[in-house]
């Protein structure tokens, strides 16, 4: 095979491109300025004939680098799927002709946009290399599931059905988890259409848990191995080659290799013992909703009896929302969501098992989510459950516990004596210790202004952090900590909108109540999704491809060792734990953990980190190859660095919707705003651009960044770019960072227009002259 590099361009004249643009001029720019050996045109490049033309050039003419000038890089990805060459795409459809009016007065600026995008694509291509797998990795079809409750068993069963082998590690002596203690479960199917409101039998009722059947299915499946009374004492490796030590209570340890991991470690219940107002610790007849399940199950179809004296229960008060949605220390700042459904279910138990039993649900904000939720509430009404809107102030212990409350309907203080009080306590995720507790605040400056703490300083801060008493779940051998990063309330950090189940540790997926409070049906659905993601991850790892959101990407980061200052910014700022350090402090990349976001590249102060097809150079050359007018002449140039996951799609959608984009804008998609190098901003300014706009995803607590913290880190870095602009004698208004959602199809073009108006006010860049 020849090592000769050959560049070639391919222009599509379909979709109106040939009608709106001068194709011969584009071909000339591609060959003369872009240094393509040739630039061929086709009236529909994505057609079978057009794709064959490109393939022929690769197979028979020795083309190694392909520039496609057609539609957005987000369109026709299946047609233009050439993995055996380096490839770039110039967006002439959504990026030019669809965002510019079709009239003669605008033709010149429209053609200028197209010409620049050709120059940019050619420059990017000349700086790119063909991505190649980092090495051979065999396919490992073995999946580790940590936790043997409903979530873990469901994940195992679904993966086994798909032909994968599974190991379940359960710390207790039996499968089933919490649900094995339940009498029945919340229904998940709504009433049939046309059901009469007066017929309780037609409304959804509590149903069997199905746990025994699940356990039997697991035990009968030859693809599933169960480890009881066991924990994962050590996890190392990466997707496709995880190694886990499974240790038993007796002290024996076995080591197994896995392609991916599902963490289904479940939850614990909030302990109300310290809540003096409820007197939980002072009466056997003041119980939690979990203990109520155990009483109902122990009754075995007979009457439910009081724990204190065995008396058949004739009156029950269900106190809802105990220490939930609270801002008090030691209580839960969130609501578990399903507590009211549990209360309705248990009140129906009482009516069924204890005829004549009086049941009252005391709530301040009743929630019945889910397909059957509203109908289940109606079933409770038909079962003669009393729903009382009130705020409980105290539960008094005694022979008959008394609930004191403020009746919000009658606006009066009231109290009720009963045989049994059931406290609705919330779910607390069993996530293990948070590896970033208190540390990310230092990185981002939340702990006291603009913090410069990085590298060794963060490590020292981590060592000084208070020790946690929570047992590790995975015992990961990562420099970033032993367990999965968490959200502020202890649930595993998982992007609910863009990629549920996924965590900040590639190849490890969280499912069930460890992600958020949920019932059995929700946990089963969650487990199925996590199992599919685990399968996807190990399959991609087996072919050396990246996973979500850059699925199939063969590129991976490398660094130039002689230029590295060992500052550790890359390893500290990587959101996914993909970078360790060797014994000399140089970064060691773990390609299988890498999501290819480029955050490490943006973090590197000496610019020695790059990908074969994405680097400081590939973007820098695009910036430098835009034709900057020698004079302002009312023709400014605005550089837009747009996140490829939200902002760039928003601009594409704006084009489809007929929104106009300023003719002075030149848009470069970036993998993540976290990958942006400050050098791109300074190069743009010094080359005569009048303004720079960075469009990233929403950051903060409700972040929507596909790479978790990329957008936040970019904002932090760019907050300091004002000093650089001042040194260059430029106004700070020339560089802005915006949060842009994929739905901002009107707002995204408007932000570019705002920059155009700002430049009109402050004048052109002095570097033009």
Q: What pLDDT is attached to residue 457? A: 47
DSSP 8-state secondary structure symbol assigned to residue 92 = -
Could you tell me the CA-to-CA distances from 308 to 219, 284, 286, 398, 622 in Å, in that order?
38, 5, 10, 10, 77
Q: Tokens for 150?
A: 């409903």
Nearest to 691 by CA among 652, 659, 739, 730: 730
Say whether pTM exceeds 0.85.
yes
Helix (H, G, I), strand (E, B) or coil at 410: coil
Q: What pLDDT is attached to residue 135? A: 64
Helix (H, G, I), strand (E, B) or coil at 441: helix
Q: pLDDT grade, residue 439 (50/70/90)?
A: low
User: What average pLDDT score do residues 62-84 get?
Assistant: 96
**Could you tell me which CATH number the domain at 1-130 has?**
3.40.50
Q: What pLDDT is attached to residue 723? A: 80
Task: Give me the chain's average pLDDT, please.
Answer: 91
Q: What pLDDT is attached to residue 547? A: 85
pLDDT over 50 (residue 466): no
Higher pLDDT, 614 or 197: 614
Q: Tokens for 248?
A: 């038993």
Strands 315-319 and 558-559: unpaired
- Asked whether 204 and 341 are in contact (CB, 8 A), the reply is no
- Quote the longest CA-to-CA distance of the chain: 95
Q: pLDDT grade, residue 709 (50/70/90)?
A: confident
User: What average pLDDT score do residues 429-451 get?
Assistant: 60
pLDDT over 60 (residue 36): yes
Question: CA-CA distance, 175 to 213, in Å (whole number)?
Answer: 11
Q: Which of 88-102, 378-392, 461-475 comes out lowest in average pLDDT?
A: 461-475
Q: What pLDDT is attached to residue 443? A: 42
CATH 3.40.50.720 is right for the domain spanning 142-266+470-543: no
Q: What is the pLDDT of residues 133-147, one digit of tens each?
A: 666 688 999 999 999
Q: What is the pLDDT of residues 713-736, one digit of tens each?
A: 888 888 878 788 888 888 999 999
pLDDT over 80 (residue 456): no
pLDDT over 90 (residue 35): yes
SS (H, E, C) 529-585: HHHHHHHHHHHHHHCCCCCCCCCCCCCCCEECHHHCCCCCHHHHHCCCCCEEECCCC
Q: What pLDDT is attached to residue 446? A: 37
Q: pLDDT grade, residue 544 (50/70/90)?
A: confident
Q: What is the pLDDT of residues 146-183, one digit of tens each?
A: 999 999 999 999 999 999 999 999 999 999 999 999 99
Q: What pLDDT is attached to residue 191? A: 77
Does this chain's domain 142-266+470-543 share its CATH topology with 272-426? yes
Q: What pLDDT is attached to residue 464? A: 47
Beta-carbon neighbour count of residue 376 at 10 Å?
A: 25
Q: What pLDDT is attached to residue 496? A: 67
Q: What pLDDT is attached to residue 729? A: 85
pLDDT over 60 (residue 448): no
Question: CA-CA distance, 199 to 614, in Å (whole number)?
Answer: 65
Question: CA-CA distance, 488 to 501, in Å (whole number)?
Answer: 17
Q: What pLDDT is attached to residue 768? A: 72
Q: What pLDDT is attached to residue 718? A: 84
Could you tell me the CA-to-CA distances from 665 to 627, 689, 755 in Å, in that order?
12, 10, 10
User: What average pLDDT score do residues 350-365 get?
Assistant: 96
Q: What is the pLDDT of residues 476-532, one digit of tens each?
A: 999 889 999 998 899 998 776 667 788 999 999 999 999 999 999 999 999 999 999
User: What average pLDDT score do residues 273-297 get?
Assistant: 96
Q: What pLDDT is attached to residue 2? A: 56
- CATH number of 272-426: 3.40.50.880, 3.50.50.60, 3.40.640.10, 1.20.1250.20? 3.50.50.60
User: What average pLDDT score do residues 114-139 get?
Assistant: 90
Q: Which secondary structure element, helix H or strand E, spans residue 342, and what is its range?
A: helix 339-353
Q: What pLDDT is attached to residue 160? A: 98
Higher pLDDT, 318 or 581: 318
Hey, where are the domains in the chain? 1-130, 142-266+470-543, 272-426, 437-468, 558-592, 615-769
DSSP 8-state secondary structure symbol assigned to residue 207 = B
User: What average pLDDT score do residues 12-35 get?
Assistant: 97
Helix (H, G, I), strand (E, B) or coil at 336: coil
pLDDT over 70 (residue 461): no
User: The domain at 615-769 falls in which architecture?
Assistant: 3-Layer(aba) Sandwich (3.40)
Strands 242-248 and 230-236: antiparallel
Question: CA-CA distance, 267 to 502, in Å (whole number)?
Answer: 18
Higher pLDDT, 156 or 199: 156
Share of the chain above pLDDT 70, in %: 93
Strands 142-146 and 260-263: parallel
Could you tell me the CA-to-CA distances from 184 to 148, 279, 295, 337, 346 in Å, in that order?
19, 27, 12, 18, 9
For 639, residues 6+ apart whose C-beta sits below 8 A from its C-beta are 623, 626, 666, 668, 680, 684, 689, 691, 692, 693
């Amino acid at each position: 095979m020849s090592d000769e590099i050959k560049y070639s361009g391919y222009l599509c004249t379909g979709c109106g491109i040939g009608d709106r643009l001068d194709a011969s001029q584009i071909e000339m720019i591609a060959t003369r300025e872009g240094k393509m050996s040739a630039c061929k045109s086709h009236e529909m490049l994505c057609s079978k004939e057009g794709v064959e033309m490109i393939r022929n050039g690769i197979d028979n003419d020795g083309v190694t680098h392909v520039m496609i000038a057609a539609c957005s890089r987000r369109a026709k990805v299946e047609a233009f799927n050439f993995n055996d060459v380096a490839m770039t795409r110039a967006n002439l459809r959504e990026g030019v002709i669809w965002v510019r009016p079709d009239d003669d007065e605008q033709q010149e600026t429209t053609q200028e946009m197209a010409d620049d995008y050709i120059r940019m694509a050619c420059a990017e291509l000349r700086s790119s290399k063909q991505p190649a797998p980092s090495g051979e990795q065999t396919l490992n079809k073995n999946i580790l599931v940590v936790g043997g409750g409903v979530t873990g068993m469901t994940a195992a069963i679904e993966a086994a059905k798909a032909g994968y082998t599974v190991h379940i590690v359960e710390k207790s002596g039996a499968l089933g988890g919490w649900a094995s203690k339940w009498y029945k479960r919340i229904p998940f199917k709504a009433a049939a259409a046309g059901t009469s409101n007066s017929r309780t039998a037609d409304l959804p009722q509590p149903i069997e848990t199905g746990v025994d059947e699940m356990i039997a299915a697991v035990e009968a499946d030859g693809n599933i191995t169960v480890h009881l009374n066991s924990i994962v004492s050590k996890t190392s490796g990466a997707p496709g080659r995880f190694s886990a030590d499974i240790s038993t209570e007796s002290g024996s340890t076995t080591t197994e290799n896995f392609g991916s991991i599902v963490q289904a470690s479940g939850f614990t219940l909030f302990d109300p013992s310290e809540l003096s107002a409820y007197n939980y610790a002072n009466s056997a007849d003041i119980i939690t909703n979990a203990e109520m399940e155990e009483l109902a199950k122990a009754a075995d179809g007979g009457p439910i009896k009081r724990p204190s004296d065995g008396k058949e229960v004739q009156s029950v008060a269900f106190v809802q929302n105990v220490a939930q949605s609270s801002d008090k220390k030691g209580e839960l700042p969130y609501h578990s969501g399903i507590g009211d459904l549990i209360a309705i279910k248990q009140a129906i138990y009482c009516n069924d098992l204890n005829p004549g039993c009086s049941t009252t649900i005391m709530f301040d904000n009743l929630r019945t989510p889910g397909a059957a939720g509203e109908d289940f509430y109606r079933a409770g009404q038909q079962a003669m459950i009393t729903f009382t809107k009130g705020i409980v102030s105290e539960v008094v212990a005694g022979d008959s516990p008394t609930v004191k409350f403020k009746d919000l309907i009658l606006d009066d203080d009231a109290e009720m004596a009963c045989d049994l009080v059931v406290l609705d306590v919330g779910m607390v995720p069993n996530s293990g210790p948070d590896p970033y507790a208190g540390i990310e605040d230092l990185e981002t400056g939340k702990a006291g202004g603009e913090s410069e703490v990085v590298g060794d300083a963060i490590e020292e801060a981590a060592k000084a952090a208070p020790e946690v008493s929570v047992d590790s779940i995975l015992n990961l051998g990562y420099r970033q900590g032993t367990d999965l990063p968490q959200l502020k309330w202890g649930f595993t950090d998982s992007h609910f909108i863009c990629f549920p189940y996924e965590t900040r540790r590639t190849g490890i997926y969280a499912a069930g109540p460890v992600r958020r409070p949920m019932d059995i049906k929700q946990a089963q659905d969650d487990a199925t999704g996590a199992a599919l993601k685990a399968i996807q991850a190990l399959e991609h790892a087996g072919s050396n491809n990246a996973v979500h959101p850059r699925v199939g990407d063969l590129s991976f980061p490398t660094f130039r060792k002689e230029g590295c200052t060992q500052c550790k910014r890359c390893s500290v700022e990587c959101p996914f734990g993909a970078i360790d350090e060797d014994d000399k402090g140089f970064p060691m990349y773990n390609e299988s953990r890498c999501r290819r976001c480029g955050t490490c590249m943006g973090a590197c102060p000496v610019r020695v980190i790059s990908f074969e097809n994405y680097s400081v150079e590939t973007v820098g050359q695009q910036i430098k190859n835009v034709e900057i007018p020698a004079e302002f002449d009312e023709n400014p140039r605005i550089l837009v660095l747009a996140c490829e996951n939200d902002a760039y799609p928003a601009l594409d959608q704006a084009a489809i919707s007929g929104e106009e984009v300023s003719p002075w804008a030149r848009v470069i998609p970036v993998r993540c705003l976290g990958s942006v190098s400050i050098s791109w901003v300074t190069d743009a300014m010094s080359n005569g651009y009048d303004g720079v706009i960075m469009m990233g995803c929403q950051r903060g607590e409700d972040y929507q960044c596909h790479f978790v913290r990329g957008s936040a880190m970019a904002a932090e870095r760019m907050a300091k770019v004002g000093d650089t602009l001042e040194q260059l004698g430029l106004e700070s208004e020339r560089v802005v960072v915006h949060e842009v959602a994929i739905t901002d199809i009107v707002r995204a073009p408007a932000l570019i227009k705002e920059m155009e108006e700002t430049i009109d006010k402050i004048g052109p860049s002095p570097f033009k002259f």
